[in-house]
Amino acid sequence: MSATTKIAVHSLADLKNTTDDALSNYLTSIKFQRSHRLIDVRLALGYSAVILAGGLFYFDWKHGPQASKPYAGPAVAAYFALNAVFSYWVWMVEKGCIFEGNNTTGNVRILSTSKKYDPTYYLSVTFTDTSGKTDTRDVSASFSRWFTSDGYFVAKPFQQWLASNVPSIGAADPQNIVEEIGRGSAAEETGGVSVEEMLRIAGVAGATGVKSKAGGSGRKRKG
């Protein structure tokens, strides 16, 4: 889906699908070679089942159910066997994989999920480098980070989020890595740490007088 399409921001499916598509576009743009192995196997399994059923339907319609009787049993068994393999493939192998591909440094595999009524995008990025070492990162962020309130996808913050949080993507796109400096919108993500706590961490002179008191309340709020 192109980034210029407007979506309904309260539809989780729209948010997730648009983001999934944008993620694939982004990764291919930073020189990841996309592999279509998973979806190709799924399509092959599914379509062979549908063609089998269609064939039986045509034979039935052309020659009557009496003539097709000897073939119906094996065909039904084969159809449901194919269906079982198809379901296994979708639920156990693909598992919500939205991108699989590789670049010169290794192979990347990304699963995305979102929970019902929770506008958070969950990614599990598994990177296998050329020596065979794997590194799995689970990252999540609110969809509001890269959608405007009227429903347009904005690529930059999304790409920055990915590049900054997933080393394998950051390595391929160093331009988009941003450091969290504890200011602006990033401060909201510190999760209720008090100003005193921040000052203490920063080691600001003169904070010593309130250190014990502020430290106590800070800890309480953290929990």
Segment 12-31, which members bind another protein (CB under 8 A)?
13-14, 17
Q: What is d(CA 125, CA 107) in angstroms, rounded to the nearest whole number?
A: 10
Sequence letter at residue 120: T
Sequence letter at residue 72: A
Burial 132-162 (b: 16+ CB within 10 A, else e): eeeeeeeeebebeebbeeebebeeebbbbbb
- Check residue 125 and report its DSSP letter: E
Q: Does residue number 36 form part of the binding site for another protein (CB under 8 A)? A: yes
Q: Which residues is 113 bridged to in the sheet?
A: 122
One character per residue 89-128, x = contact with another protein (rule: CB under 8 A): ----------------------------------------
CB of 130 to another protein, least distance (A): 27
Q: Does residue number 50 form part of the binding site for another protein (CB under 8 A)? A: yes
CB of 84 to another protein, least distance (A): 12
Q: Does residue number 73 form part of the binding site for another protein (CB under 8 A)? A: yes
User: Smaller CB distance to another protein: residue 42 or 137?
Assistant: 42
20 three-state secondary structure = helix
Q: Does residue number 1 form part of the binding site for another protein (CB under 8 A)? A: yes
Q: Reading across the β-sheet that carries 120-129, which strands appear in turn?
A: 33-34, 97-103, 106-113, 120-129, 134-142
Q: Which of 9, 30, 41, 72 binds another protein (CB under 8 A)?
A: 72
Q: Which of 58, 80, 88, 91 binds another protein (CB under 8 A)?
A: 80
193-196: Cβ within 8 A, 24+ apart: 193/218, 193/221, 193/222, 194/218, 194/221
Q: Does residue number 47 form part of the binding site for another protein (CB under 8 A)? A: yes
Stretch that binds another protein, among 68-76, 96-104, 107-115, 203-211 (CB under 8 A): 68-76
Q: Which residues bind another protein (CB under 8 A)?
A: 1-2, 5, 7, 13-14, 17, 36, 39-40, 42-43, 46-47, 49-50, 52-54, 56-57, 65-66, 72-73, 75-76, 79-80, 83, 86
